[in-house]
Structure 1
Amino acid sequence: MCGIIGIVGKEPVAGRLVDSLKRLEYRGYDSAGVAAVVDGPGGGRVERRRAQGKIRNLEAVLAEQPLVAQNGIGHVRWATHGAPTVTNAHPHTAGRVTLVHNGIIENFAELKAELKAAGRTFESDTDTEVIAQLIDAELATGLAPLEAFKATLDRLTGAYALAVLVEGADNLVLGARRGSPLVVGEGQGEMFLGSDALAVGPFTNRVIYLEEGDYVAIDHDSARIFDASGASVQRPVKVVPASAVMMEKGNYRHFMEKEIHDQPEGCQRTISAYVDALTARTAIPGDVDFKALERIQIVACGTSYIAGVIGKYLIEQLADLPVDVEIASEFRYRQPALRPGSLVIAMSQSGETADTLAALRYCKAKGMKSAVVVNAQESTMAREVDVVWPIHCGPEIGVASTKAFTAQVSVMIALAVAAAKARGTIDAAEEQRMVRLMLEAPRLIAEAIGLEDALKEIAFDIAKARDVLFLGRGPMSALALEGALKLKEISYIHAEGYAAGELKHGPIALVDDQTPIIILAPYDSYFEKSASNMSEVMARGGQVVFITDPEGARHAPAGARVVVTAPASDPLVSTLVMSAPIQLLAYHVAVVKGADVDQPRNLAKSVTVE
């Protein structure tokens, strides 16, 4: 990852690739590179130019070693597998194949071992090179480029957006997407691939948004698009106004919907900043000695507070380290007892939330070490703390947080695993297992987003309700709070989230046949209790929407109005996977009700006053 451009053009390509990469700098990157088909038609060779650091370094390389060509690909890389070096920078080449890649290939180690056993050699530490080697190996069997590409895609597990050059196929760029976005740009006698409309914006305003699982072959005049099964498909061309390109919603009605769909890529970016994918170890930035800590104090507001509650569950469970989570607006007024041996973690997307900033300063005044989990790295909180833990999710326009929430939770998962390893409550093998689970999460989130059509149907009934209850146990009780918050924020329906065990202590009085009950219950150690709560609700006429996983669906009590089956996931990452269904449900309820989804009444994106 992180940004892609591909061009089959009529003009010199090197400068165009660089111009597009500059438009993708906002995604964050640590190296950049381009590749192009030189020497003209009829078998031209592919050459690469790569540089560590900023795009200006790549421009210097191109000034010394020009690329004279019309067709090429480019990439700005955010390091996942392997350090940010020139050798690991994209594009990667194997034999006839050169490509760029956003995403994480989960089964790269298995594929790499197979390819090495077959005599292939690797020059980089990346998972991306495995894809190039696989395509080249398929070409060596006699397959045509598009066939070799499809055969390779069928073997990949994980998330990806790809742009591929093949020597001998000069006027062709191949592309594919699963879990990471990719668009086609349609020009006059030339075609483009890009991570988003912004990437192809300098060349065209006619954009085709590829759907999940699509792959494509572009040449000067056409884009042949295929779905995941290999069937030829047509996708509509959208005209993106120039004024909208910088803040475009893509193929979505609202920014919130786009940002829900951005989450697989956003979580990839976050997770890759906190783990070493090659060694499957945590790699937490900053100087925090988890072993020496006596306690962690988390202060936050709104959705950030709920992400902190999930962090509490994980850190205490895995690391045996006490964690307190408090609403920042109440925290300092109760004059809490604090000790210097503790760490305060402020959580805020903007880094400017007034209540959280005040709570953070209160803790610092008590001598506590300080950290912030934040999206805005130049914010006031980031400047005032000892350690900054960025969430790296990119700009979030919708007022109701979605991708920032899952990015915050991703950071908390990584911190929990790192703390557990540092404190000796898990060993190195368990740390590696958990890191691999984290690396699988973006793919599972993408699969959960695939439930959108089913959730859209449910939304029509939920939109009629006056009250909605969300129930869950363990970390899912925190996610129940988030589901209720999202629904009330954007649809204006009264909704409450509860720990399901509290049902009999009051909330069950609200249950009747007009009250939808959303129960979050993956098949985990809490499942039997959650199923029991479901039976209690249904016995009183409650209309249950049961959100679970395949095993939970098999064991669910009969009688739920709807069972939504999300992908199976380990409890470590289940809150990430289950977030997408509750976000999509809230979104589509709000759409049905005709609410202003991106700018709900009375709410602001950043609350900078108490």
Structure 2
Amino acid sequence: MCGIVGYVGEGEKKEILLSGLRELEYRGYDSAGIALMDQAGIHHFKAAGKLSYLEAKTAEFTSASFGIGIGHTRWATHGKPNEINAHPHLGKYSFVVHNGIIENYQELKGRLQKKGVSFLSQTDTEVIVHLFEYYNEIHTDPFCAFEKTIGDLQGAYAILLITKASPNHIFFAKEGSPLILGTDAQNHVYIGSSDAALIGKAHTVTYLEDGQYGRVYKGALEIFVQGKQILPPMVPLQRNTLYAQKEGYRFFMEKEIYEQSSVLSNAMLGRLREKDIFFEEITPSFLSHISHITFCACGTSYHAALSAAYLFERLAQVSTSVEIASEFRYKKPYIQEGTLFIVISQSGETADTLEALKRAKRSTAKTLAICNVDNSSIVRTADTTLLTRAGIEKGVASTKAFATQMLVLWMLALEMGKETMTSTEYAENIRALRKIPTATQVSTETHERIQRLSKRYLHGHGFFFIGRDIFYPLALEGALKLKEISYLHAEGYPSGEMKHGPIALVDSELFTICLMPKTTLYEKNRSNVEELSARDATICAITPEPFSLADDLIYTKHTEHPMCEFFEMMVVLQLLSLEIAIRLGNDVDMPRNLAKSVTVE
């Protein structure tokens, strides 16, 4: 959520900034803007809505001479999503863009207003540029004024600021929100809140740490910590932009559903050996003396954690709890001796999860991150990390990231359970793991059937997704997917809980998506669905077995292992949500109000 780009060089700054912002669209946004400075002065453009509106506003503008520029896509936190609240924000002679939340902005705003400063927007960000200009008037030293400014800020931020008082520099600062600096062979400097904005432009990059700030100018990066300049570690950025192409699919989400088979194979490379699991990232001592596991995550990753809890207790026989990250940090949690604290995040920048991890780091717990993005904040903070290797996921609604999280967690449960499981059970799981890439291949016949039956599910007053055992968290995930991209109300429930209240809502306009695996509590599920059918619920059963009471059947394969059914049903739920949302005419990849990377509370 929110994206930042910056550039110093002789290139066409407008196009470089807009190109970077396009690569950050997947994060979710409601407005966008750019500000550029060259010999002719400062130029700025802002627009509410899609980036195409900003592109239209800048169509006649060119900026090919040497200069600097900053850009931003905003996801509203303070103030309505309109052009006034869009970034960059303007002072008298400076512009700023900012990701994060300035927690003490009201106090700072009040101080400045008493000194006669006027504010245009409702945002917390605008206080930064006015505070900078206030200090610059006192010290007549722009960099000193910037240091004073960030010294007054409380909260999370990634900041870029340009000013006529220092026309060749971009000032930057990072605290709790990602920021990356890069250079190319022509000594151009690029800045982004994600390396996606730098791919194909920068050759080497440095990932800033919290508390680092400084300035960039032509061919040079100056990075400081507590007033002392440091030499940043530069690493190659070798990826290209081909990943961003849809390759013939209607939406990135559809492409990513189809990619799951191959990325799951990648996630197993070097880890799934002939007869056992091997993680080179984890030493035997790291997993020793673990008496409890706490999972902590948000959203889809939280559902992966709930699913994993079944696996760890069942396979590794270790006590397990699951925490919602946004609640964990405020409950004054007790973390017992011998805890392994596992955080799960697609982006590695999820603010609530990162703060929960920092809290765990202050205890005696060992910390482990399950993450898709190397060099992200969560990866750098945790004691060790298992990367999911899903590749960049452009669709806001997570698909292949969830799939790879589940696979890595299953393998980790097996690694921890190899001493407690029987040799037969362990071997059965290893064989099942090898079948997962095949289980997640999308069948043309199944996809076409889902496309046809999806037209039944465009109205009504809501959905229940139900399942038992590990399929209950999968039902939660199915309901979340549908909510995210169709905007239809959906809830996930354990099948056995329907009669404890929710069944009061059931009628023919209440759609029930039933997960009925043959390997896990099939007869129990069948009885629960029969109760719903008797009350005229419209039933879509996902199962390998014929079921006469279903209004619609989506058949899955017969298999001997529950996890093979789990992953196949996962794909079916993703496709069902996709096709319903497409029929409703929604923007599947960029659903309203949502962001890919939630970097604020």
Query: 1:269-305, CA deviations, whole angstroms, 9 ceiling, x for partnerless residues?
Result: 11224311x3444446312544520101110000000
The answer to whether 1:308 aligns with 2:298 is: no
| 1:603 pairs with 2:600 | no
Q: Is the 8 A contact 2:297 2:353 kept in 1?
A: yes
Q: What's 1:369 paired with?
A: 366
Map 1:277-296; keep pairs closer than 5 Å: 278-283=274-279, 285-287=281-283, 289-296=286-293
Provide Cα deviations, 1:580-606, integer angstroms capped at 9, x if missing partner: 000000000000000110000000000
Q: Once the 2 structures are TM-superposed, how far is the Cα of residue 364 of structure 1 from its aligned partner?
A: 1.1
The residue aligned with 1:18 is none
Match of 1:395 among 392, 397, 405: 392
Query: How far, CA to CA, are the matches of 1:461 and 1:511 in structure 2?
Result: 17
The residue aligned with 2:489 is: 494
Verify the 8 A CA contact 2:557 2:565 in the aligned structure 1: no
The equivalent residue for 2:57 is none
2:520 aligns with: 525
Q: Tell me, in whole angstroms, the C-alpha distance in 1 between the residues paired with 2:282 and 2:444.
A: 33
Give per-residue Cα distances to partners, 1:125-170, cap 9 Å, x unaligned. xxxxxxxxxxxxxxxxxxxxxxxxxxxxxxxxxxxxxxxxxxxxxx
Selected match of 2:532 from 515, 531, 537: 537
Q: Residue in 1 aligned with 2:583? A: 592
SS of 2:431's equivalent in the other structure is helix
Deviation by residue 1:544-583 (Cα, 9 ceiling, x = unmatched): 100012xxx14x3x22101111122311333222100000
Q: 2:334 maps to which residue?
A: 337
Aligned mates of 1:524, 1:397 — CA distance in 2: 34
Q: After TM superposition, list the pairs within 5 Å mapping 1:129-278 onto structure 2.
A: 245-276=242-273, 278=274
Encode CA deviations 1:395-443: one digit per residue, 9 max, x unaligned. Answer: 100000000000000011101111110xx22144532331121011110
Contact map agreement 1:480 1:498 (CA 8 A) in 2: yes
Q: What secondary structure is seen at the aligned counterpart in 2 of 1:436? A: helix
CA 1:498–1:448 in structure 2 vs 1: closer, same or farther (change >3 Å)?
farther
SS of aligned partner of 2:322? strand
How large is the RMSD of aligned CA atoms in angstroms? Answer: 1.8
Change beyond 3 A, Cα 1:406–1:273: farther
Q: 1:508 aligns with which of 499, 503, 508?
A: 503
Instruction: Say whether the 8 Å CA contact 1:275–1:284 is kept in structure 2.
Output: no
Distance in structure 2 (CA, Å) of the matches to 1:250 and 1:451: 21
Contact 2:258 2:442 in 1 (8 A): no
How many residue pairs align between the two structures?
A: 361
Please, which runs of 5 or more residues in structure 1 have no aligned partner? 1-242
Higher mean C-alpha deviation, range 282-291 or range 584-593: 282-291
Partner of 2:557: 567
TM-score, with normalisation over the residues of structure 1?
A: 0.57
Partners of 1:244 and 1:360 lie apart in 2 by 32
Residue 236 of structure 1 is matched in structure 2 by none
- Using the aligned pairs only, state the percent identity: 39
Q: CA deviation at 1:506?
A: 1.1
CA distance in structure 2 between the aligned counterparts of 1:420 and 1:280, rounded to whole angstroms = 11
- AA partner of residue 303 (structure 1): T
Query: CA-to-partner distance for each residue in 1:460-491, whole Å, 9 max, x for gaps?
Result: 11112331110000011000000000000000
Identify which of 437, 453, 457 aligns with 1:442.
437
TM-score, normalised on structure 2? 0.58
CA contact (8 A) 1:448 1:577 kept: no
Q: Contact 1:444–1:577 (CA<8 Å) still a contact in 2?
A: yes
Q: Is the 8 A contact 2:462 2:510 kept in 1?
A: yes
C-alpha distance in structure 1 between counterparts of 2:424 and 2:504, whole Å: 47
- Alignment partner of 2:562: what SS? coil
Shift of residue 245, structure 1, vs aligned partner: 4.6
Letter in 2 for 1:500: S
Structure 2: stretches of 5+ with no match in the other structure:
1-239
Q: In 2, are the aligned partners of 1:517 and 1:544 still within 8 Å (CA)?
A: yes
State the distance in 1 between where 2:575 and 2:352 align: 29
Separation of aligned partners in 2, 1:392 and 1:418: 19
Shift of 1:371: 0.5
